[in-house]
């Protein structure tokens, strides 16, 4: 009864149709159009990672991470699992063959088993895929395999970006640490100078205490930098699947990445592997919905048996003889306690969830690209200002020091000039890191490393 009501409603369902991304809104329509566009090989996301990151030590570290990283290894294993499932789904079209010999005795006489009977059948069973149950299962398995490969590529892109980010972070922290240590040495000497000036009556105890406090403040900041640097070294060690160690990265010999092409059309986002994986997840959910729809339709199974036996009902015949049979069965769901209806509703909801996840991933990718482009442009602009500021503050520190020696400036002015110079130099190093990370993040946001 339920089946009779549901079947007409399902007659227009395209259970044989392959998945196509719908274009029901502007975002979906833009994505569908972008997939049809020709990719620009000169765009940042399409460049080999060795062309983007040319620092020799970084290249070596990325290669080591790609060979040893646990997440990437698991992603490769997921591809193997999906490939095995796909092969199994493709073989579902073939009939199953079963050899099941059996035998026994039907009576006992004088303590002995008599009337031995045996059957050696070879059974074949084949489900005719009239309503695309097997077809949709095969397509879902093939799509899952493609999704696993896309996810593997996304993980590869993330690892390349993570190693590069960690590498330049270590270099920047090391440079900042070296700068603070050098400045600490200068400020330590300043304390001694201030004590001499006090003894000569040219300054007072308050100025000495200010100098000493300034020296100890930079010592405190050095401890924070050392802790951050230690954490960064350990993070890189984990990425390379090795014991925690100190990586000999020289800040003075860094080769910073540069932006090759600032134009990022939607087609570049459409080629991003995690976006592809999200789209393929929608496709898998679509085929699962089709399988749920197909469950409302009858199934046709053909079975065949061929073998040798001496058992014919209640009669035992010796010697035995060959037997063969062929049968077909049609199974139509009439009342399944609401299981088929519940499954269809669930798969429809899961399909909508997958679509929501895909759209959110596409929007997030667009935001990531926009953020990286903005950070890079503003970091370039900021770098020019900071370079001028550092030059001015170096001169101001020298002038103030000379004026202090002639009593034409107070120690507070000297302290302010030195602190401002250190802050500007630290900002300059952070700006260089932000600019490098913007390139790295943009490359990762475009699925670089394909």
Q: What is the CATH number of the domain that holds 284?
A: 1.20.1600.10
102 within domain boundaries: no
Is 80 exceeded by the pLDDT of residue 406? no
Q: Which of 8-17, 197-206, 207-216, 219-228 is most confident? A: 219-228
Q: Which residues, in sequence order, are bridge partners of residue 112?
A: 109
Q: What is the largest CA-CA distance in the chain?
A: 131
From the number of C-beta atoms within 10 Å of its C-beta (0-12, 13-18, 19+), residue 85 rates as middle
122 within domain boundaries: no
Reported pTM:
0.77
Task: Over range 350-362, report the average pLDDT.
Answer: 90
Task: Over range 12-26, report the average pLDDT.
Answer: 77
pLDDT in tens, 312-342: 666 666 776 777 777 777 777 767 677 888 8
Mean pLDDT of the chain: 81
pLDDT value of residue 220: 92
328 within domain boundaries: no
pLDDT in tens, 150-173: 888 888 888 898 999 999 999 999
CA distances (Å), origin 244, targets 71, 175, 226, 234, 415: 18, 21, 15, 5, 39
Number of residues that this document lists for the chain: 450
118 within domain boundaries: no
Give how many domains the chain has, as a whole number: 1
From the number of C-beta atoms within 10 Å of its C-beta (0-12, 13-18, 19+), residue 114 rates as exposed
237 within domain boundaries: yes
3-state secondary structure of 253: helix
Q: Identify each DSSP E strand in 183-314 by its residue range.
A: 299-312
261 within domain boundaries: yes
319 within domain boundaries: no
pLDDT in tens, 108-153: 555 565 677 767 777 877 777 777 788 888 888 888 888 888 888 8
How far is 305 from 325, CA to CA, in rounded Å?
5
pLDDT in tens, 24-71: 888 888 888 877 776 666 677 778 888 888 888 999 999 999 888 888
Q: Which residues, in sequence order, are bridge partners of residue 302?
A: 126, 328
How far is 45 from 203, CA to CA, in rounded Å?
61
30 within domain boundaries: yes
- Look up the domain containing 210 and give its range: 2-95+131-297+336-445
Is 50 exceeded by the pLDDT of residue 3? no
């Amino acid at each position: 009864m339920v089946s009779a009501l549901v079947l007409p409603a399902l007659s227009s369902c395209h259970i044989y149709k392959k998945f196509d991304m719908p274009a029901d809104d502007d975002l979906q329509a833009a994505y569908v159009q972008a997939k049809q566009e020709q990719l620009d090989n000169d765009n940042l996301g399409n460049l080999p990672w060795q062309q983007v990151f040319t620092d020799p030590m970084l290249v070596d570290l990325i290669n080591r991470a790609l060979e040893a990283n646990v997440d990437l290894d698991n992603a490769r294993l997921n591809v193997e699992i999906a490939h095995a499932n796909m092969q199994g789904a493709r073989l579902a079209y073939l009939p199953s063959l079963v050899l099941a010999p059996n035998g026994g005795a039907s009576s006992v006489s004088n303590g002995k088993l008599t009337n031995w009977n045996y059957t050696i059948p070879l059974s074949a069973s084949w489900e005719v895929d009239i309503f695309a149950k097997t077809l949709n299962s095969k397509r879902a398995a093939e799509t899952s395999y493609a999704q696993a490969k896309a996810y593997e590529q996304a993980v590869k892109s993330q690892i390349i970006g993570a190693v590069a980010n960690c590498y330049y972070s270590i270099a920047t922290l090391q440079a900042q640490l070296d700068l603070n240590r050098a400045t600490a040495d200068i400020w330590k000497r300043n304390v001694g100078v201030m004590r001499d000036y006090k003894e000569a009556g040219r300054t007072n105890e308050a100025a000495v205490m200010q100098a000493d406090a300034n020296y100890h403040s930079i010592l405190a900041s050095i401890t924070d930098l050392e802790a951050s640097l230690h954490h960064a070294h350990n993070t890189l060690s984990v990425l390379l699947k090795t014991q925690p160690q100190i990586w000999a990265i020289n800040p003075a010999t860094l080769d910073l990445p540069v932006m090759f092409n600032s134009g990022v059309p939607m087609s570049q986002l459409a080629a991003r592997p995690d976006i592809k994986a999200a789209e393929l997840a929608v496709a898998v959910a679509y085929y699962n919905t089709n399988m749920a729809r197909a469950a409302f339709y009858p199934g046709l199974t053909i079975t065949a048996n061929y073998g040798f036996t001496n058992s014919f009902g209640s009669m035992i015949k010796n010697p035995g003889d060959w037997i063969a049979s062929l049968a077909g069965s049609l199974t139509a769901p009439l009342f399944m306690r609401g299981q088929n209806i519940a499954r269809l509703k669930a798969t429809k909801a899961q399909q909508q969830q997958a679509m929501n996840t895909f759209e959110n991933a596409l929007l997030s990718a667009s935001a990531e690209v926009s953020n990286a482009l903005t950070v890079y442009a503003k970091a370039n602009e900021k770098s020019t200002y900071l370079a001028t500021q550092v030059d001015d503050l170096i001169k101001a520190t020298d002038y103030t020091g000379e004026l202090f020696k002639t009593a034409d400036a107070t120690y507070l002015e000297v302290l302010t000039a030195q602190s401002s110079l250190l802050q500007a130099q630290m900002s300059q190093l952070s700006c260089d890191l932000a600019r490098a990370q913007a390139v790295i993040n943009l490359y990762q946001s475009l699925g670089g490393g394909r």
